[in-house]
């Protein structure tokens, strides 16, 4: 997965979430978090993986901003454009086949999209 042409990785400084929504609209979405190597594994509820089929994918990434004062909650700043978090606008669709699947997504930040 890339953001503005650079690898996007999760971890302590960035929280990135990937959702797979069944294209037919029925069934629970599957979710995964990007790790510090930029990989993610999808799970549906407590079950690892996802059933074969067509899915609409959304992605959102947020830079974690540490609290200024001890005891305060951290805040965040969106890194990815809002459209990628909306199943109607993301533009990402995948066909999951039985077995292992790998899908990569190229994202743009909100600031990059404004420049176009």
Strand residues in 11-112 grouped as ranges (E): 14-22, 30-33, 43-44, 47-48, 53-65, 75-78, 92-96, 106-107
Can you give the pTM of this predicted structure?
0.87
Residues 103, 37, 35: CA angle, nearest 5 degrees: 80
Query: CA-CA distance, 84 to 26, in Å (whole number)?
Result: 21
Angle in degrees, CA 21, 23, 24, rounded to 5 = 120
* Contact assessment for residue 20 and residue 94, using Cβ atoms and an 8 Å cutoff: yes
The average confidence (pLDDT) of the chain is 91
**Rounded distance, CA 62 to CA 40, Å?**
16
Q: Is there a contact between 88 and 44 (Cβ–Cβ < 8 Å)?
A: no
Q: What is the pLDDT of residues 9-65, one digit of tens each?
A: 998 899 999 999 999 878 889 999 999 999 999 999 889 989 999 999 999 999 999
């Amino acid at each position: 997965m890339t953001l503005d042409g650079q690898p996007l990785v999760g971890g302590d400084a960035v929280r990135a979430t990937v959702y797979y929504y069944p294209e037919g609209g029925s069934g629970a979405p599957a979710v995964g978090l990007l790790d510090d190597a930029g990989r993610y594994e999808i799970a549906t509820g407590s079950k690892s993986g996802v059933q074969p089929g067509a899915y609409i994918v959304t992605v959102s990434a947020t830079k974690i901003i540490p609290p200024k004062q001890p005891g305060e909650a951290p805040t965040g700043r969106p890194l990815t454009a809002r459209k990628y978090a909306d199943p109607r606008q993301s533009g990402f669709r995948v066909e999951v086949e039985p077995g292992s699947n790998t899908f990569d997504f190229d994202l743009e930040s909100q600031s990059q999209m404004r420049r176009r």
